[in-house]
Each structure stands twice: as structure tokens, then as C-alpha cells.
């Protein structure tokens, strides 16, 4: 078996589930992989005048995270805000005597949306001489949505001033009230960085950062730990999963994490999927079939642009052959990303070569349709070509490489492997098998490096081939370093199992060109010469021809006459 061929067993992560294991939710389970945040919260509760910024991720369930952080910490001391004999407000043990202004009634509160000043400091009725404490006084920990607070600039200034003075004035007829409340702002990491740099007092008041992690690593935690985390979601939604459905959910989670050895902690995504599966199942017991239907229908609700793209290929508006062999042409793979959905789309890449000064021209860049990273990939491609064939003399060729029928900006270096293979084909005049597509980035030494969106790219080309009819010759070449990201649709796995579609992994450009052109790349000798019948030997011969280096029998009559006269003299 070809060592580059990827077996079907490696195309999707596999999980071993415990038999008859009962999973139950807990605060510890809900905070899976959040050791840094737990430490930051415990430090918050153990120190004075230090507050916390909680940097969340997309898909985080704030409510569950907040509740679990407070619960895992344990009980807070019972204290009251007492008015002493000097008419000063002091926080003391709840059993202390004296007029009570406020009592810590809540371990925590969470503020978001429309926040008012009275929510924080409370309100005083001078007629009844009654003070209704705000959240500064009535709770131990106050969680505040950073976005909601920053929309009200006066409240942001009030918070910073309160933290500066460690006290606040609720009303002119009341004494200054001391602050004994831990403030936890919740927002993005980007917001934290902006405040740290832009607000001088922010770093002084919020030295503690709790950065939530959006995935769990299976090398650090077990499947059982993750299932305990899932139990919190199951309890909230009142659902149960059979073992096959649970396995499918784990595979879905791994796809969210884009790694076979990591599982996603994006709970809202999983909650939405399970709620829809519950509706399809019309029962609390979710089967594999109901969950699979939920996944498929969720994709279908978001794939309108993908369907339009497929129609363009099916109607032959976009020319992209998937059979026969063509010189200087290859099927590359791209990913189209929308806000909430991404999909793979094949792209036809062509190359042409002619005599010149050694420039490999990127038409996308020259037409201002190529991004900076794509331009960098093209420069690396040129460097790689010169490393192999231009060690001793300059290359006397110009090459043009382009994404055909592309009308939007292209960026990224994931097409550099395909572009290199296309260029080698154009120089050597060796045709490329159009049944294969390739994706991968390369370095100056010809190593093939990982790219993003590998699953979407494979599935995009597979869908095109399936609609046209699988022949058994079609397939995709990917970097070996992307193997751990593979998490493909069952249709792809079935086709690979049946020998109708093939996936190849490569570590070096030489492996890719050999698969695509069915010719050995060749090894250079001590004089940096490749065998004549090898692929690189054909490239070398063409380059020498462009440079004007010809064999003796091809030299002109005038050249041979000059040599004879020189010998006779």
C-alpha cells in the first residue's frame, strides 16, 4: 500500500466511552479546563483591592460559568454595613450592634443590558429616611458585562472613581460608604487589552485576568471528565443521549475544536444543537438519527451560498475538470468563510512559462486581488524553485500563475503547494492528473506545512466529484501535519472505504509532484544534476534550453567552424 494514502480509520476521531457510567453535573465539572480562571477567582477572594477581568470566548455560557465559579469557592462571610457612634459606615460581622444600612444578602449578582446608577450605589428616600442598598453593598461579588458598562460612560467613570477611593457616596444625607465588593468585568480579551493600554487606572484595579479556555485537551483530561461537563448541559435541557448519539456528539465537538484530540467547550453551540435534536426526536431521549438530522439540517439552513457555488460548477459556468491530464493546470482548494458558516470550494490554478529573467509573477497580486500572505507564499515558492534549480546559474524563465475565474481577493499561503506543482508541470511539460486536488503551504526547503480548513476543503472537492460521479481515481493531497484535524463527513469515509475516493498525506513537495504526475522527482548527484528521465531532470533540461545551453550536435554551423579554426591554429 502507498505510504502516502490515508486509511479510512484516520479520517474521523474515535472515542472509547465507559459502559453504564452515570454522569452528574457539578461546579467542578462545569469549569473543566479552566484551572487558570479558578485560580484567578480564588485569588480575587483572598486579596484586598484587587479585582478581576473575566475574558470569555464565543459560545461561552456566562450564567453557568458564574454560578460554578462562586459555588466552587464556597461560602462567603456574613457581614453588615453598620453605622457606628461616629456616624461612619463600617463593614463588620453580622452580629455587631448598631444601625444596619445594608447586609450582604447575595453571594453574587450579574448585571447586563441597561445598567443604572442606582443599581450600583442604591437609592435613598429622604422622606422616609430609608436607604435601599445597591449591589455594591448587597452582594459579595458583582459580575458586570463590560459591553453594557462601557455603553454608559458616566457609569464607567463612577466605577473607576469608586475603586480609586474604595468608597462611594449614595446620597448627601448618608455618610460615605466603604466598598467591600469584588468587581468582575466580563468581556473579550481584545477589550481587556484596549482598557489596559488606554485607561491608566484600569491596570491598577484589575490586575487579575481569568481567561476562559474554549476547548479541552484529551492529553490533560479524560472522556469521562468531558461527559461530566456535558451532564450540566443535559440537565439544563432535560435530555438524555444513547451511546451512539453521545459518540456522534463527541465527534461534532471535536469538529468545533478542529482537532481529533481536543473537544470544544462552546456550550451554547452544543445547547442549540441538542435543543433542535430534542425537537426532531420529539422526546427527551435523543438518538443518533435525531442528532445526525439536527446537524445536517443546521448546515442546510446556513449553506445557501454553498449551493449557489455548486450550481455554478454544475452548470459549467466555472471550468474545472476532474478527469484527464493537463499540462500546467491543477485543482487547488479554497475555503469561503461567512460569519457563521464556512465551506470548501475548488479553484483551477494555471501556470505558463516563457523565456525571461527569472521572475515568477503572481497575477493575483498584480491585479490587486491577492493578499499579503498569498504574496508571501508566492515569494517562498520562488525561493524554493531557485534553491533546487538555480544554485549555480540564474534561471532564464518567466512564469505567470493565476487562479482562473476568481473575482474576489485571495489570501493565505495554502495554495503554494498546488502552485508549485502547477509550475513544475508547466516547465517540464508533464501533465497533471486532474482527478486530484492539492492543498498545503510550503517553506523554502520544500517541506509541506499545515493549512486551515482542511475538512471543508476535502469535502468541497468530494461533493463536486460525487455529483459528477466517483470514478475511484479522484482524491485530495493534504499536508501530513493536518492529519490530526481530520473529521470528515460519513459520505467521504464511506467512499474512501469503498475505494472510490483517496486521500494522500505528504511531507515534502517531491512526494506531491510524484503523485500528481506519476513520475519520480529524482535525486541530484554531486554536480547537482538530476537523472534525465526524472521529473526534475525534465525541468532542468527545459531550463537549460531556455538559457541557451545546447548539446554539441545542436550547435550552429558557424559555432563548429570557429572551433575548427581555433584547433587548426
Q: Which residues is 225 bridged to in the sheet?
A: none
Rounded Cα–Cα distance for residues 489 and 473 (Å): 19
**CB atoms < 10 A from the CB of 509, how many?**
24
Angle, in degrees to the nearest 10, between helices 267-281 and 223-237:
60
Grid cell, residue 286, equals 435523543
Q: Which residues is 144 bridged to in the sheet?
A: 111, 185
Stretch (H or E) spanning 478: strand 475-479
- The catalytic residue positions are 414, 457
Kindly tell me the burial class for residue 134, based on how many C-beta atoms sit within 10 Å of its own C-beta (0-12, 13-18, 19 or more): buried
How many CA atoms lie within 13 Å of 74's alpha carbon, on the beta-carbon side? Answer: 4
**DSSP assignment string, 182-225:** EEEEEE-HHHHHHHHHH-TTHHHH--EEEE--SEEETTTS-HHH
**DSSP assignment string, 489-523:** -HHHHHHHHTTSSEEEEESBHHHHHHHHHSS----
In this structure, are residues 400 and 363 in contact, taking their beta carbons and an 8 Å threshold? Answer: yes
In this structure, are residues 112 and 148 in contact, taking their beta carbons and an 8 Å threshold? Answer: yes
For residue 329, what are the CA distances in angstroms to 324, 367, 410?
11, 20, 18
157 three-class SS: helix
Phi, psi of 217 (to 5 degrees): -95, 125
Query: How do strand 79-83 and strand 89-93 relate by DSSP bridges?
Result: antiparallel
For residue 520, what are the CA distances in angstroms to 510, 516, 531?
8, 10, 10
Grid cell, residue 502, equals 483517496
For residue 452, what are the CA distances in angstroms to 370, 440, 458, 491, 522?
18, 9, 11, 21, 30
In this structure, are residues 328 and 420 in contact, taking their beta carbons and an 8 Å threshold? Answer: no
Amino acid at each position: 500500500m502507498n505510504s502516502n494514502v490515508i486509511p479510512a480509520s484516520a479520517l474521523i476521531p474515535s472515542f472509547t466511552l465507559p459502559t453504564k457510567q452515570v454522569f452528574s453535573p457539578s461546579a467542578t465539572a462545569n469549569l473543566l479546563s479552566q484551572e487558570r480562571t479558578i485560580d484567578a477567582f480564588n485569588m480575587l477572594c483572598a486579596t484586598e483591592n484587587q479585582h478581576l477581568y473575566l475574558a470569555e470566548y464565543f459560545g461561552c455560557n456566562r450564567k453557568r460559568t458564574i454560578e460554578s465559579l462562586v459555588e466552587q469557592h464556597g461560602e462567603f462571610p456574613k457581614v453588615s454595613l453598620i453605622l457606628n457612634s461616629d456616624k461612619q459606615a463600617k463593614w463588620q460581622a453580622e452580629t455587631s450592634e448598631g444601625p444596619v444600612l445594608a447586609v450582604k444578602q447575595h453571594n453574587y449578582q450579574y448585571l447586563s443590558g441597561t445598567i443604572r446608577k442606582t443599581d450600583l450605589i442604591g437609592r435613598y428616600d429622604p422622606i422616609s429616611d430609608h436607604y435601599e442598598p445597591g449591589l455594591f453593598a448587597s452582594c459579595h461579588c458583582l459580575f458586570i458585562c463590560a459591553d453594557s458598562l462601557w455603553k454608559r460612560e458616566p457609569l464607567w467613570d463612577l466605577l473607576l472613581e469608586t475603586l480609586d477611593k474604595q468608597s462611594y457616596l449614595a446620597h448627601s444625607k448618608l455618610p460615605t460608604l466603604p466598598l467591600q465588593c469584588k468587581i468582575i468585568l466580563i468581556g473579550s480579551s481584545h477589550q481587556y487589552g484596549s482598557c489596559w493600554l488606554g485607561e491608566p487606572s484600569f491596570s491598577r484595579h484589575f490586575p487579575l485576568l481569568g481567561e476562559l479556555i474554549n476547548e479541552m485537551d484529551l492529553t490533560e483530561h479524560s472522556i469521562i471528565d468531558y461527559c461530566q461537563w456535558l451532564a450540566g448541559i443535559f440537565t439544563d435541557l432535560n435530555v438524555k443521549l444513547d451511546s451512539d448519539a453521545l459518540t456522534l456528539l463527541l465527534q461534532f465537538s471535536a469538529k468545533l475544536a478542529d482537532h481529533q484530540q481536543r473537544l470544544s467547550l462552546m456550550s451554547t453551540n452544543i445547547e442549540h444543537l441538542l435543543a433542535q435534536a430534542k425537537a426532531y426526536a420529539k422526546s427527551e431521549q435523543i438518538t443518533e438519527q435525531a442528532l445526525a438530522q439536527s446537524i445536517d439540517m443546521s448546515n442546510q439552513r446556513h449553506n445557501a451560498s454553498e449551493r449557489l457555488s455548486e450550481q455554478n460548477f454544475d452548470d459549467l459556468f466555472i471550468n474545472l475538470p476532474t478527469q484527464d491530464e493537463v499540462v500546467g493546470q491543477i485543482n487547488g482548494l479554497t475555503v469561503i468563510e461567512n460569519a457563521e458558516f464556512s465551506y470548501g470550494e475548488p479553484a483551477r490554478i494555471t501556470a505558463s512559462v516563457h523565456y525571461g529573467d527569472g521572475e515568477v509573477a503572481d497575477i493575483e497580486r498584480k491585479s490587486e486581488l491577492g493578499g499579503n500572505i498569498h504574496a508571501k507564499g508566492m515569494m517562498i515558492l520562488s525561493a524554493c524553485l531557485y534553491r533546487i534549480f538555480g544554485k549555480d546559474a540564474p534561471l532564464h524563465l518567466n512564469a505567470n500563475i493565476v487562479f482562473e475565474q476568481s473575482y474576489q481577493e485571495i489570501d493565505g499561503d495554502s495554495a503554494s503547494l498546488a502552485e508549485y506543482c502547477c509550475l513544475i508541470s508547466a516547465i517540464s511539460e508533464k501533465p497533471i492528473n486532474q482527478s486530484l486536488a492539492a492543498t498545503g503551504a510550503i517553506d523554502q526547503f520544500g517541506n509541506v506545512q499545515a493549512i486551515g480548513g482542511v475538512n471543508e476543503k476535502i469535502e468541497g472537492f468530494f461533493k463536486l466529484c460525487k455529483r459528477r460521479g466517483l470514478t475511484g481515481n479522484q482524491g485530495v493531497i493534504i499536508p501530513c501535519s493536518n492529519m490530526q484535524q481530520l473529521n470528515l463527513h460519513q459520505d467521504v469515509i464511506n467512499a474512501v472505504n469503498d475505494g472510490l475516493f483517496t486521500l494522500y498525506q505528504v511531507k515534502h513537495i517531491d512526494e506531491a509532484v510524484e503523485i500528481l504526475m506519476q513520475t519520480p522527482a529524482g535525486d541530484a548527484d554531486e554536480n547537482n544534476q538530476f537523472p534525465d528521465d526524472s521529473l526534475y531532470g525534465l525541468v532542468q533540461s527545459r531550463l537549460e534550453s531556455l538559457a541557451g545551453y545546447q548539446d554539441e550536435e545542436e550547435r550552429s554551423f558557424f559555432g563548429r567552424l570557429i572551433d575548427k579554426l581555433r584547433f587548426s591554429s
